[in-house]
């Protein structure tokens, strides 16, 4: 094994969390920072010719190489786990920028009560309403503590939107249910495609509170506090699963890399697959990785940061036997579903769009509505996003009145409805349960010979009933939109690894105010190994309806502040 | 090295850039393309089956005119067809449907099985008999793949072999890749906006390497 010269900080994974931490450490401390990224290099100009649905959206050119590594899945401990052999319900990224390159840019803040989920739920409804098998926890950090970092993250990316609560003042037209914001969004809301406008008007007519979705697909040219400038969105409709060809969508490569590329104390090593973290005498000593040529290397470092996405963070902790017996707990996904497929009389021009050009309503999110007489807890955002509708994956959807799924009759109906079909989607909270967890698979291995991560995951009644309730709401909104025909969501059933839901997986190395049941403290610092930090949604004790990236950035920034401000002076526990 | 087969088919033809119910067809072009995976007889059988899924009829051109078979042939010959984009470690075991296809066979082997299901006589059957045979295999992994690939071949960027002359995009009013719609996003509400389609190569002004040409 080749032993490399030591660095101050090694960061595993060059996505949003890893590169943000690198920027803070390299520019403010300044430390010598090394990122190890398993994928290849990337830059904005790579994306000029990626507007090809087949190679990017279907063959998934930007994702991790599933032939080399995947996960196994089972619905409960009663069954053997089988590998997810082809991508379906989520899409892990690889390469510089990670999934932050091919995300949609939807940038919700979490509601304040999300961070105190156990306390607030018991307070309002009593402990008897908690599901039997639940593992719901408070985060150990509050919305008020995170608010300044949410603001910084929005400024970093130039998020477009409209405030609904500015320093406690309620503002119509924004999300009136959101927690208090210290400042307005850095850029105004995106333009409104037709379907989103129909949805907005329908929600308003029903007395709901629609608001423009907060979007990192920035609405106009923007220069961030680091002096990095980006163009405004052109609504080409190639966001999710693609990199942005004009750099309007905030991506690590067009926000963080321009700052880091100028720093001599920053190195990014691609093609480096980290396999173990080495700990000795209660301190992390470095990481072992396999480089692009297949050679095994040991990289010593004073501080180790894991920032390699929820599942890989968890897997590395398990492989390195650093899980404190708690790694893998609180695995959650997101209740993400097409609540209603809606058929209209008028054409929608759905090829026009942007990953976060949409409208959401918060009336049925979090605890904004009373659950006393409902058969479930919590909720989510009912929304419609005009992300740009492309035909290879989307052609062929017909109303229930058309029975055939191939042949002349189907073809005629599918052509007829093609540009008159819209979707109302729902992204809802997935509670944590003891029975949903990750560990190492006893049978299947990756290309290096290491065990795959095994997911034990299924929906419970809380999610199924929530989905049913939200489907009815989406049908109500569809009618108000003037739908000719509506296909409601068929129901959640068992967790379906074949249907894309979202790449929002949480848990595995969760944070909490106490070491019991958790891996990291509220600064994402390992309880037993103070120079090991675990960044990303692996820290989230449970899913919170909204998409996680903005919260990942806010938590990372808060950790970076604590590392630069306190840890470097006294390298010990920050909690 | 096996002898390379060629396929001679008529593809393309121009219709109008709208969602008119009765698109006008122009004359197609006769082309001769080298096959990468199928033999000529195999290609003709798959093409006939794809043409029953997406027929050429009064609602417009179909799989034949789009060159769907060329798309499928290239996909099966390339990394996708070999199973490069899936995890293929043993053991292979049956699981619940929510865990997805767990079989060992990559797409090209599934097509080999599909050809056997369709039968060597498939092209000699009447359209009604062909439909009946297809209905008998509707639940097979092969049929699902064939249906998916037929739609993909209708609407892919033409660099992948299908959607000849952008015929699929013309049929549905999809413009293909474009630099954007900043001025149109909120000015065509409720009205069809149908810019003339262009392929990625036309937009970029140069060749782009498709995944099927990768090792």
Instruction: Dump pLDDT digits (tens) for A477-536.
Output: 999 999 999 999 999 999 999 999 999 999 999 999 999 999 999 999 999 999 999 999
Q: Which pLDDT score, from 0 to 100, does residue A532 have? A: 98
Q: Which pLDDT score, from 0 to 100, does residue A44 have? A: 80
Residues of B with Cβ-Cβ distance to A49 under 8 angstroms: 200, 204, 208
Q: Rounded to the nearest 5°, which phi and psi values hold at B187? A: -115, 0
Residues of A with Cβ-Cβ distance to B170 under 8 angstroms: none
Tokens of A8: 């101050």
Q: Do residues A527 and A510 lie in contact, with contact meaning Cβ atoms separated by under 8 Å?
A: no
Q: Which of A49, A349, A497 sits opposite B98 (nearest CB)?
A: A497
Q: Are strands A33-37 and A266-270 parallel, antiparallel or unpaired?
A: parallel
Cβ-based contacts under 8 A for chains A and B = 186
List A134, A209, A430, A504, catalytic entry:
A504
CA A550/CA A106 separation, integer angstroms: 9
Q: Which of A67, A237, A396 sits opposite B88 (nearest CB)?
A: A67
Give yes or no for B191 touching A (CB within 8 A).
Answer: yes
Residues of A with Cβ-Cβ distance to B172 under 8 angstroms: 391, 395, 415, 418-419
Question: Which class for B82: exposed (0-12), middle (13-18), buried (19 or more C-beta within 10 A)?
Answer: middle
Q: Most A CBs within 10 Å: which of B87, B110, B134, B198, as the mutation test of the A interface?
A: B87
Cβ within 8 Å of A, B 20-49: none
> Mean of the pLDDT values across residues B198-208?
94
Kindly determine whether residue A494 and residue B80, on different chains, have CB atoms separated by under 8 Å: no
Tokens of B23: 């698109």
Kindly determine whether residue B93 and residue A194, on different chains, have CB atoms separated by under 8 Å: no
Give yes or no for B6 touching A (CB within 8 A).
Answer: no
Give yes or no for B160 touching A (CB within 8 A).
Answer: yes
Going by C-alpha positions, the residue among B174, B114, B105 that lies closest to residue B139 is B114
The answer to whether the bond into B91 is cis (omega within 30° of 0) is yes
Residues of B with Cβ-Cβ distance to A419 under 8 angstroms: 19, 172-173, 192
Q: Rounded to the nearest 5°, which phi and psi values hold at A229? A: -105, 145
Kindly determine whether residue A408 and residue B88, on different chains, have CB atoms separated by under 8 Å: no
Pairs from A400-405 (Cβ < 8 Å, separation ≥ 24): A400/A485, A400/A487, A401/A485, A405/B147
**Residue B17 above 50 pLDDT?**
no
Going by C-alpha positions, the residue among A103, A118, A41 that lies closest to residue A309 is A103
* Nearest residue of A to residue B81, measured between CA atoms: A59
User: A171 in helix, strand or coil?
Assistant: coil
Give yes or no for B205 touching A (CB within 8 A).
Answer: no
Kindly determine whether residue B186 and residue A192, on different chains, have CB atoms separated by under 8 Å: yes
Residues lower than pLDDT 50 in chain A:
none
Kindly determine whether residue B88 and residue A390, on different chains, have CB atoms separated by under 8 Å: no
DSSP for chain B reads -PPPPEEEEEE-----SS--SSPPP---EEEEEE-SSS-HHHHHHHHHHHHHHS--BTTB--HHHHTHHHHHHHHHHSHHHHTTTS--PSPP----GGG----S--HHHHHHHHHHHH-TTGGGS-HHHHHHHHHHTTTSHHHHHHHHHHHHHHHS-GGGS-SGGGHHHHHHT---S-S--TTTTTT-TTS---PPP--HHHHHTS----GGG--
- Cα A175 off chain centre by: 20
CA A160/CA A550 separation, integer angstroms: 13
* Nearest residue of A to residue B161, measured between CA atoms: A54
Rounded to whole angstroms, what are the CA distances from A569 to A29, A404, A565, A574, B80? Answer: 11, 69, 7, 11, 53
Count other Cβ atoms within 10 Å, centred on residue A292. Answer: 12
Q: Most A CBs within 10 Å: which of B15, B72, B89, B130, as the mutation test of the A interface?
A: B89
- pLDDT range class, residue B19, cuts 50, 70, 90: very low
Q: Rounded to the nearest 5°, which phi and psi values hold at A253? A: -70, -20
Instruction: Quote ipTM for the complex.
Output: 0.96
Tokens of A291: 């480089």
Give yes or no for B196 touching A (CB within 8 A).
Answer: no
Tokens of A119: 């306390």
The CA-to-CA distance between both ends of chain A, in Å, stands at: 36
Smallest CA–CA distance, residue A207 to chain B, in Å, is 23
Residue A532 exposure: Cα atoms within 13 Å on the Cβ side = 27
Residue A504 annotated as catalytic:
yes
CA B33/CA B5 separation, integer angstroms: 9
The sign one gets for the Cα dihedral A185, A187, A190, A191 is positive
> Mean of the pLDDT values across residues B11-36?
70
User: A480 in helix, strand or coil?
Assistant: helix
- Does A2-567 carry CATH code 3.50.50.60? yes
User: A375 in helix, strand or coil?
Assistant: coil
Length of chain A: 575
Burial code (b: 16+ CB inside 10 Å, e: under 16) for A66-93 equals bbebbbbbbbeeeeebbbbbbbbbbbbb
Smallest CA–CA distance, residue A391 to chain B, in Å, is 6
Give yes or no for B1 touching A (CB within 8 A).
Answer: no
Give yes or no for B99 touching A (CB within 8 A).
Answer: yes
Count other Cβ atoms within 10 Å, centred on residue A11. Answer: 30
Smallest CA–CA distance, residue B13 to chain A, in Å, is 18
Torsional class of A263: left (φ above 0), alpha (ψ -120 to 50), beta (otherwise):
beta
Going by C-alpha positions, the residue among B44, B38, B49 that lies closest to residue B3 is B38
Q: Which of A48, A66, A193 sits opposite B87 (nearest CB)?
A: A66
Q: Which pLDDT score, from 0 to 100, does residue B125 have? A: 98
Residue A356 exposure: Cα atoms within 13 Å on the Cβ side = 28
Residues of B with Cβ-Cβ distance to A82 under 8 angstroms: 93, 95, 99, 102
CA A287/CA A308 separation, integer angstroms: 13
Q: Do residues A424 and A199 lie in contact, with contact meaning Cβ atoms separated by under 8 Å?
A: yes
Per-residue HEC secondary structure of A6-50 comes to CEEEEEECCCHHHHHHHHHHHHHCCCCEEEEECCCCCCHHHHHHC
Kindly determine whether residue A392 and residue B151, on different chains, have CB atoms separated by under 8 Å: yes
Q: Are strands A335-343 and A485-488 parallel, antiparallel or unpaired?
A: antiparallel
User: A569 in helix, strand or coil?
Assistant: coil
**Residue B18 above 60 pLDDT?**
no
Q: Rounded to the nearest 5°, which phi and psi values hold at A204? A: -65, -40
A425: which strand partners? A338, A383
CA A166/CA A183 separation, integer angstroms: 6
Kindly determine whether residue A415 and residue B210, on different chains, have CB atoms separated by under 8 Å: no
Q: Most B CBs within 10 Å: which of A47, A65, A66, A83, as the mutation test of the B interface?
A: A83
Going by C-alpha positions, the residue among A432, A488, A501, A498 that lies closest to residue A460 is A432
The sign one gets for the Cα dihedral A453, A459, A463, A464 is positive
Going by C-alpha positions, the residue among A347, A482, A481 that lies closest to residue A415 is A347
The residue with tokens 């060329």 is B70
Q: Which of A55, A70, A347 sits opposite B192 (nearest CB)?
A: A347
Q: Which pLDDT score, from 0 to 100, does residue A66 have? A: 98
Going by C-alpha positions, the residue among A424, A427, A415, A556 that lies closest to residue A487 is A424
The pTM of the whole model exceeds 0.80? yes
Tokens of A484: 């000719």
> Mean of the pLDDT values across residues B115-124?
97
Q: Which pLDDT score, from 0 to 100, does residue B1 have? A: 46
CA A558/CA A524 separation, integer angstroms: 9
Question: Which class for B8: exposed (0-12), middle (13-18), buried (19 or more C-beta within 10 A)?
Answer: exposed
CA A338/CA A346 separation, integer angstroms: 20
Count other Cβ atoms within 10 Å, centred on residue A122. Answer: 14
CA A365/CA A377 separation, integer angstroms: 10
Per-residue HEC secondary structure of A527-549 comes to CCCCCEEECCHHHCCCCCCCCCH
The sign one gets for the Cα dihedral A337, A339, A342, A348 is negative
């Amino acid at each position: 094994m080749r032993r490399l010269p030591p660095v101050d900080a090694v960061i595993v994974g060059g996505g949003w969390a890893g590169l943000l931490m690198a920027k803070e450490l390299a520019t403010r401390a300044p430390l010598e920072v090394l990122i190890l990224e398993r994928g290849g290099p990337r830059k904005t100009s790579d994306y000029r010719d990626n507007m090809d649905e087949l190679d990017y959206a279907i063959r998934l050119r930007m994702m991790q190489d599933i032939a080399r590594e995947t996960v196994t899945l089972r619905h409960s401990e009663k069954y053997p786990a089988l590998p997810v052999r082809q991508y379906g319900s989520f899409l892990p990224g690889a390469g510089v920028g990670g999934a932050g390159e091919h995300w949609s840019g939807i940038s919700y803040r979490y509601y304040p009560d999300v961070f105190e989920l156990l306390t607030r739920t018991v307070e309002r409804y009593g402990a008897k309403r908690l599901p039997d098998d639940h593992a719901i926890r408070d985060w150990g950090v509050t919305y008020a503590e995170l608010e300044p970092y949410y603001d910084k993250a929005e400024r970093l990316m130039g998020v477009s939107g409209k405030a609904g609560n500015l320093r406690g003042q309620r503002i119509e037209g924004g999300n009136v249910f959101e927690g208090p914001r210290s400042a307005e969004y850095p850029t105004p809301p995106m333009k409104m495609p037709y379907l989103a406008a129909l949805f907005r008007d329908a929600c308003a007519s029903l007395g709901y509170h629609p608001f423009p979705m907060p979007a990192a697909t920035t609405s106009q040219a923007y220069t961030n506090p680091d002096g990095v400038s980006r163009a405004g969105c052109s609504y080409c409709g190639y966001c999710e699963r693609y990199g942005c060809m004009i750099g309007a969508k905030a991506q690590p490569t067009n926000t963080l890399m321009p700052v880091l590329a100028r720093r001599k104390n920053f190195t990014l090593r691609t093609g480096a697959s980290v396999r173990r973290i080495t700990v000795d005498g209660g301190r992390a000593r470095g990481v072992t990785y396999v480089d692009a040529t297949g050679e095994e290397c040991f990289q010593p470092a004073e501080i180790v940061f894991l920032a390699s996405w929820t599942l890989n963070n968890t897997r590395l902790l398990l492989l390195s036997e650093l899980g404190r017996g708690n790694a893998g707990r609180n695995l959650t996904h997101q209740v993400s579903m097409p609540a209603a497929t809606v058929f209209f009389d008028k054409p929608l021009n759905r090829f026009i769009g942007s990953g976060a050009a949409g409208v959401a309503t918060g009336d049925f999110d979090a605890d904004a509505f009373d659950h006393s007489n409902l058969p479930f807890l919590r909720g989510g955002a009912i929304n419609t996003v005009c992300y740009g509708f492309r035909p290879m994956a989307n052609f062929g959807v017909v109303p229930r009145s058309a029975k055939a799924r191939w042949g002349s009759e189907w073809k005629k109906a599918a052509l007829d409805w093609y540009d008159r079909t819209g979707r109302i989607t729902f992204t809802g909270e997935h509670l944590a349960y003891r029975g949903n967890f990750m560990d190492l698979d006893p049978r299947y291995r990756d290309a290096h010979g290491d065990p795959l991560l095994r997911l034990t995951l299924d929906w419970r009644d809380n999610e199924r009933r929530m989905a049913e309730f939200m489907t009815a709401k989406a049908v109500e909104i569809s009618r108000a939109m003037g739908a000719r025909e509506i296909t409601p969501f068929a129901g959640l059933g068992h967790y379906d690894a074949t249907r894309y839901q979202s790449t929002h997986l949480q848990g595995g190395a969760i944070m909490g105010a106490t070491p019991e049941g958790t891996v990291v403290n509220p600064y994402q610092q390992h309880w037993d190994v103070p120079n090991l930090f675990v960044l990303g949604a692996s820290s989230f004790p449970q899913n919170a309806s909204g998409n996680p990236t903005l919260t990942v950035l806010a938590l990372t920034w808060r950790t970076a502040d604590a590392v630069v401000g306190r840890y470097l002076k006294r390298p010990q526990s920050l909690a | 090295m096996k002898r390379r087969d060629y396929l001679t088919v008529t593809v393309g033809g121009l219709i109008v850039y709208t969602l008119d119910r009765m698109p006008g067809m122009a004359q197609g072009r006769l082309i001769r393309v080298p096959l990468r995976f199928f033999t000529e007889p195999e290609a003709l059988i798959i093409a006939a089956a794809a043409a029953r899924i997406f027929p050429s009829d009064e609602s417009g051109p179909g799989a034949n005119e789009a060159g769907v078979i060329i798309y499928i042939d290239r996909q099966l010959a390339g990394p996708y067809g070999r199973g490069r984009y899936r995890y293929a470690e043993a053991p292979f075991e049956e699981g619940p449907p929510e865990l997805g296809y767990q079989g060992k066979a990559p797409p090209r082997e599934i097509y080999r099985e599909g050809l056997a299901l369709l039968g060597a006589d498939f092209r000699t059957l009447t359209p009604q008999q062909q439909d009946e045979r297809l209905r008998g295999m509707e639940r097979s992994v092969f049929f699902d793949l064939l249906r998916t690939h037929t739609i993909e071949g209708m609407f892919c960027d033409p660099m992948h072999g299908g959607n000849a002359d952008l015929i699929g995009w013309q049929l549905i009013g999809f413009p293909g890749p474009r630099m954007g719609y900043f001025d149109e996003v909120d000015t065509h509400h409720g009205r069809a906006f149908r810019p003339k389609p262009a392929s990625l190569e036309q937009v970029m002004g140069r060749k782009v390497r498709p995944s099927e040409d990768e090792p």
